[in-house]
Amino acid sequence: MNEAPSAATGALSRENARAFLHQMLRIRRFEEKCAELYSAQKIRGFMHLYIGEEAVASGVMPELTDDDAVVATYREHGHALARGLPMNEVMAEMFGKAAGSSRGRGGSMHIFSMAHRFYGGNAIVAAGLPLAIGLALADRMRGQNRVTCCFFGEGAAAEGEFHETMNLAALWQLPVLFVCENNTYAMGTALARSESNPDILAHAQVFGIDAEAVDGMDVVAVNAATARAVEAIRAGNGPRFVEAKTYRFRAHSMFDPDLYRSKEEIEAWKQRGPVIHFKEAAAAAGVGEDDIAAIEAEIAAEIEAAVAFAEAAEWEPVEDLTRDVTTPADEATP
Amino acid sequence: MTGTREISYREAIREALREAMNRDERVFLMGEDVGAYGGAYACSKGLLEEFGPERIRDTPLSESGFTGAGIGAAINGMRPIVEIMTINFSLLALDQIVNTAAAIRHMSGGQVSVPVVVRMATGAGRQLAAQHSHSLEGWFAHVPGLNVVAPATAADARGMLWTALEHPDPVIIMEHATLYNDRGPVPAEGDTAVSLQGAVIRREGKDATIVTYSANVKKALAAAETLAGEGIEAEVIDLRSLRPIDDATIMASVAKTHRAVVVDEAWCTGSFAGEIVSRVAEQCFFDLDAPPIRVCSAEVPIPYPRHLEEAAIPQPETIAAAVREALRK
């Protein structure tokens, strides 16, 4: 699982800094490799890259225990990796191989791992929110004190499911951490063009949910905000909402010609990107150029191994096409 | 059934709910007005007082939100019964049902199980007009990953719920709203649980097979009564399960009678009845002495005035007429 301890207590230790940097770079390089593989047609369908947003998943995950649950979206590669799913399995899933985390059946948008309480991976915007409150409801009803962490984009705030979920979470005081990754674009539509009130926090606060905005490019700030929120949830104080202001450097998906934003805007955000942003803080904590080189080498090796694993992995036989749809009658009842 | 007592379909459901709640602490009921109101169709009347607000859980008007929550709760170890007041409102929850409940087992490579039961009232016949009279069971029966049942009798209403709760995958229970008052026998003692699968022959006959489900079973039986007076013995099959479909029972009957009439309150075009007719044509073509006939609702949004609504949906007279038509050819 993730080895980066919380940085919430103030001073950034060298160990923590190294861990945050490693995770963000690991996600970055993985996504870059996926882009290459997609162009080489090894990965097909829809693929949504997390490049630029790495600080959010990297900052949030260390605050969750193995026992907590994670619900994510179709832009979930970074979340899956930060949650601890083996890179081999995630890469094999991207390829559609049987050794993939969802046995190849889901692909990029449907990465699942019950072993990591990682409930996907969802291609319907906002559909993960009702799922998340359901997971949390079960925990509450069974007296299990654990957190369900639900990631979604700001585009989800327009969906009816979002409002229904906020209401239910507040009404039933469910132990959910809502993390809104506001990258200001829902596919090609800027938030200002789609929301009568673009204040995302207000969308949660109107239901009485404590909400906080944080610089999503600052992994330490994300981590600290998450720690505060998770502590409140574990204390039984109901749901919490963190808005991480972030930005994706690549297009919405591999199909997106990215016509709706200016090159200047993208470049400006790149200059404040999560890795660039953090290298100074990391250097101050004692993570030098040699450390970074070692990290990059380790990551490169891990990715190379994952690609080799995926390439070598088997395809599921076509004869198995209709398995895992529903439980057969003779197995359905004990 | 040996040793029976007679109760209403509604009472059967209430008993089934109570039994399930007592038998398994993971079971809970959630939906609009299931608690304080006692259930829109009074199925859960009294249960709030008996089991409390955590387990008889009133929800806001948020079909998508609470159905998704039921799905999540099922994934995480509970056994929720999600009551969507009627199939008309289920359209708001269709995404959660189709894109999560039905698909997640497969999308996750077999990792995620969703043992949720969704109950909904269906159908026309009470002058509730176009938006409150749908028969969209076929839309749910269309989707791999879902199990869809339509109990037509008090005994099936009594016995399907527990079996559905034990099933590791989603089960949708379709309760036609005109059945709630109907009385029928249920086992007087012992296990009331029944299989979710297997069609049942409700009336034997040799001259024609009527295949149907839900409230049309009693209409088909009424038609068969009338036809018997004319010397025509119709066999009436109650499908009970719409997904999966019991082909064997249907085809054995058609092989015997050589004539098939399928009754469905849905509109003909794209209907579930069309699916049955396709299967009969595929599997029993050379046993047929006449083309299969569908008796469905007229292609019109269900109208309010009584005489028009009655004309729009299947009736014993139109079912009997279809059987006569099949025998004329």
Of A105, A133, A327, the CB nearest to B109: A105
ipTM over 0.90: yes
Please give the pLDDT value at position A25. 98
Closest chain B C-alpha to A222 CA, distance in angstroms: 27
Q: Do residues A18 and A34 lie in contact, with contact meaning Cβ atoms separated by under 8 Å?
A: no
Please give the pLDDT value at position A2. 42
Find, in chain A, the residue whose alpha carbon is nearest to that of B70. A134
Please give the pLDDT value at position B203. 98
Q: How confident is the model at residue B2 (pLDDT cuts 50, 70, 90)?
A: confident
Please give the pLDDT value at position B208. 98
Q: Classify burial at A60, counting beta carbons within 10 Å of its beta carbon; exposed 0-12, middle 13-18, buried 19 or more.
A: buried
What is the SS3 assignment for A237-304? CCCEEEEEECCCCCCCCCCCCCCCCCHHHHHHHHHCCHHHHHHHHHHHCCCCHHHHHHHHHHHHHHHH
Mean per-residue pLDDT for B299-326? Answer: 98
Please give the pLDDT value at position A10. 59
Q: Classify burial at A259, counting beta carbons within 10 Å of its beta carbon; exposed 0-12, middle 13-18, buried 19 or more.
A: exposed
Please give the pLDDT value at position A334. 56
Instruction: Identify from A324, A330, A331 which residue to disrupt to test chain B contact, counting B C-beta atoms within 10 A and taking the largest count.
Output: A324
Which position has the higher pLDDT, B67 or A8?
A: B67
Mean per-residue pLDDT for B307-320? Answer: 98
Closest chain A C-alpha to B146 CA, distance in angstroms: 7
Please give the pLDDT value at position A3. 42
Which chain A residues are closer than 8 Å to B194 by Cβ? Answer: none
pTM score of the predicted model: 0.95
Tokens 């990754």 correspond to A181
Which chain B residues are closer than 8 Å to A164 by Cβ? Answer: 60, 62, 64-66
What is the SS3 assignment for chain A? CCCCCCCCCCCCCHHHHHHHHHHHHHHHHHHHHHHHHHHCCCCCCCCCCCCCCHHHHHHHHHHCCCCCEEECCCCCHHHHHHHCCCHHHHHHHHHCCCCCCCCCCCCCCCCCEHHHCECCCCCCCCCHHHHHHHHHHHHHHCCCCCCEEEEEEHHHHHCHHHHHHHHHHHHCCCCEEEEEEECCEECCEEHHHHCCCCCHHHHHHCCCCEEEEEECCCHHHHHHHHHHHHHHHHCCCCCEEEEEECCCCCCCCCCCCCCCCCHHHHHHHHHCCHHHHHHHHHHHCCCCHHHHHHHHHHHHHHHHHHHHHHHHCCCCCHHHCCCCCCCCHHHHCC
Residues 6+ apart with CB under 8 A from B218: B152, B182
Decide: helix, strand or coil at residue B249.
Answer: helix
Distance CA B220, CA B213 (A): 9
Please give the pLDDT value at position A331. 80
Please give the pLDDT value at position A109. 97
Closest chain A C-alpha to B63 CA, distance in angstroms: 9
Which chain B residues are closer than 8 Å to A132 by Cβ? Answer: 72
User: Which tokens is B4 given?
Assistant: 């029976």
Please give the pLDDT value at position A332. 79
Ranges of chain A whose pLDDT falls below 70: 1-10, 333-334
Please give the pLDDT value at position A329. 75
